[in-house]
Amino acid sequence: MTKVAARLSAIRLYVDAALDAGLTVEASEAQAHYLLHVMRLAAGATVALFNGRDGEWQATVTVPAKRRVQFNVTQQSRPQIATPDLWLAFAPVKRLEFLAEKASELGVSALLPVFTRHTDVKRVNVERLRANATEAAEQCERLTVPMVHEPVSFDAFIAAWPQDRRLFFLDETGEGTPLAAELMAQQKPTPAGFLTGPEGGFAQLELDALRQLPFATPVGVGPRILRAETAALAAVACWQALLGDWTSRPQ
Amino acid sequence: MTKVAARLSAIRLYVDAALDAGLTVEASEAQAHYLLHVMRLAAGATVALFNGRDGEWQATVTVPAKRRVQFNVTQQSRPQIATPDLWLAFAPVKRLEFLAEKASELGVSALLPVFTRHTDVKRVNVERLRANATEAAEQCERLTVPMVHEPVSFDAFIAAWPQDRRLFFLDETGEGTPLAAELMAQQKPTPAGFLTGPEGGFAQLELDALRQLPFATPVGVGPRILRAETAALAAVACWQALLGDWTSRPQ
């Protein structure tokens, strides 16, 4: 087994509570079930905890009652580190759980579902997306979990977008600048985000609206027609490689 | 609907046969079923065909007998174009169908399953992978389909790798050069390929063997521990963006 594989076998869990030496943290019902009945841990086992603020901590499992688990926080294993601030906004597609999982692994800081005019998917289970994103964060050794926003309409989305955050939208009409060229032309560190359209593409008036925005830039991902989720993940990967934290290595 | 959405609604099919004006091509049984019973096409409908060699052609559907479909090839809609020569070798993971589909969309020219020492998946359904890759190629407007190779052992894989093709292997130990830096240092056009390990990582002796190879280069994709399929697709996306055909636009 490699060093990495050995690290992957440790159980890591995201918690809301503050983490510090000597604190006791209550596991959620789902976590208790997972630890006791899926992973079959017993009292005294060690897990790693993170909450997005206090770094990663080792904790000892206790089982104060049937179906209840507590964590006794012992020592910090990694300090909290700053992570790239990249948002991913997307017209909901059928494979949303996959998108949330992969975006979390790739280090996106926020996920924003946007109902565009040609979006076929009419409902987003935000709680489910949060669970997917959290589980992926636990497994990929992130110290944060992406914030998953409630879905909004396209018009509300562009009205609320922060003016100082660059919005790269995936322009399937072929009029966008090639992605890498556009990213390499950016000054870092600029807060940024991507927006991907639905399978049916952006409506013409949405494209017109985006092209008017001073903070929005059309980008292209080549000659093939990518599925929406593929385009989103490809764009995020390129951003991390060129402007994000892929210049650093696993700790 | 955007221009792109309108194009996506056309049916595109991959065929083995030569394509030229006036030729008649027999549909496979699966294609006939798809056209007649899933898409409910009737004789006289138009589809697009490609075979990886002769560009894309318009063809008219005929139904010479129940459950049989033929294509009468009429005119070329796109000439064949050269596409980047990027191979993706991978230790088989559970989500192989997903990997084949996404790699095909992202423009990989060959898929090579490799049984490394820590690979848990013991069987690869090559025919199924070919079907996934072909279907994705049909939908993303490629003019080729990736070649899907039979699985081989790690040792056979490195013994057979062409010496003049750069092999970037995803090194989860953190000792690889950051991906973008390594790609930007490449001379183009160099034939290239990626190799990703299994969930358990490469065995130490595999890493040692890779590091000895003059044509192999370790690359890293940042501080998070990516699932094997995520790492593979992220790497391919970055290669296409920096060295591949993502500087060109949809036709």
Q: CB of B122 within 8 Å of any CB in chain A?
A: no
- Over residues A186-223, the pLDDT tens digits come to 876 689 999 999 988 999 999 999 999 999 999 999 99
Contact present, A88 and A232 (Cβ < 8 Å): yes
Structure confidence at residue A247 (pLDDT) = 81
CB atoms within 10 A of CB A151: 20
Closest CA to A179 of A171, A189, A190, A187: A171
Closest CA to B86 of A143, A222, A91: A222
Q: Do B203 and A244 touch (CB under 8 A)?
A: no
The yes-or-no verdict on residue A112 having pLDDT over 80 is yes
The yes-or-no verdict on residue A6 having pLDDT over 50 is no
Residues of A in contact with B145 (CB under 8 A): none
Long-range contacts of B60-64 (CB under 8 A, 24+ apart): B61/B35, B63/B36
Confidence band of A229 (pLDDT split at 50, 70, 90) = very high
Q: Two tokens at A36?
A: 């006791």
How many Cβ pairs within 8 Å bridge chains A and B? 195
Please name the residue that has the structure tokens 């008649």: B24
Separation CA A200–CA A143 (nearest Å):
36
Mean pLDDT in residue range B166-171:
96
Q: Which residue of A has its CA nearest to B225?
A: A140
Question: Which residue in B179, B207, B248 is closest to A246 by CB distance?
Answer: B179
Q: Which residue of A has its CA nearest to B245?
A: A222
Structure confidence at residue B29 (pLDDT) = 94
Structure confidence at residue B4 (pLDDT) = 39
Q: Two tokens at B143?
A: 């003019």
Q: CB of A139 within 8 Å of any CB in chain B?
A: yes
Print burial letters for A179-195: b (CB count within 10 Å at least 16), e (below 16).
bbebbeeeeeeeebbbb
In the DSSP assignment, the letter for residue B190 is -
Q: CB of B247 within 8 Å of any CB in chain A?
A: yes
Separation CA B126–CA B121 (nearest Å):
13
Q: Which residues contact A179 (CB under 8 A, 6 or more apart)?
A: A168, A219, A220, A221, A234, A235, A238, B241, B246
- Report CA Rg, chain A: 20
Closest CA to B169 of B224, B217, B204, B205: B217
Q: CB of A200 within 8 Å of any CB in chain B?
A: yes
The yes-or-no verdict on residue B1 having pLDDT over 60 is no
Kindly report the average pLDDT of chain B as a whole number: 92
Q: How distant is the Cα of A151 from the closest Cα of chain B, in angstroms? A: 22
- Over residues B22-48, the pLDDT tens digits come to 999 999 999 999 999 999 999 999 999
Q: Two tokens at B43?
A: 């004789």
- Over residues A42-79, the pLDDT tens digits come to 999 999 999 999 999 999 999 998 889 999 999 999 99
Q: Do A1 and B250 touch (CB under 8 A)?
A: no
Please state, for a pLDDT cut of 90, what percent of chain B lies above it: 85
Structure confidence at residue A1 (pLDDT) = 30
Separation CA A173–CA A223 (nearest Å):
10
Closest CA to B232 of B153, B146, B142: B146
For A79-131, give the DSSP string: -------EEEEE---TTHHHHHHHHHHTT-SEEEEEE-TT-------HHHHHH
Q: Do B226 and A105 touch (CB under 8 A)?
A: yes
Print burial letters for B68-100: b (CB count within 10 Å at least 16), e (below 16).
ebbbebeeebeebeebbebbbbbbbbebbbbbb
Structure confidence at residue B251 (pLDDT) = 62
Mutate to test the interface with A, among B246, B247, B248, B251 (most CBs of A within 10 A): B246
Confidence band of B66 (pLDDT split at 50, 70, 90) = confident
Structure confidence at residue B2 (pLDDT) = 34
Separation CA A170–CA A175 (nearest Å):
10
Please state, for a pLDDT cut of 70, what percent of chain B lies above it: 94
Instruction: Show which of residues 162-191 on chain A sit within 8 Å of chain B, judged by CB atoms.
Output: 172-176, 178-181
Q: CB of A9 within 8 Å of any CB in chain B?
A: no
Structure confidence at residue B244 (pLDDT) = 92
Q: Do A222 and B140 touch (CB under 8 A)?
A: no
Residues of B in contact with A246 (CB under 8 A): 178-180, 220-222
Domains of chain A with CATH codes: 9-78 (2.40.240.20), 86-242 (3.40.1280.10)
> Which of the two residues, A186 and B163, has the higher pLDDT score?
B163
Separation CA A114–CA A169 (nearest Å):
13
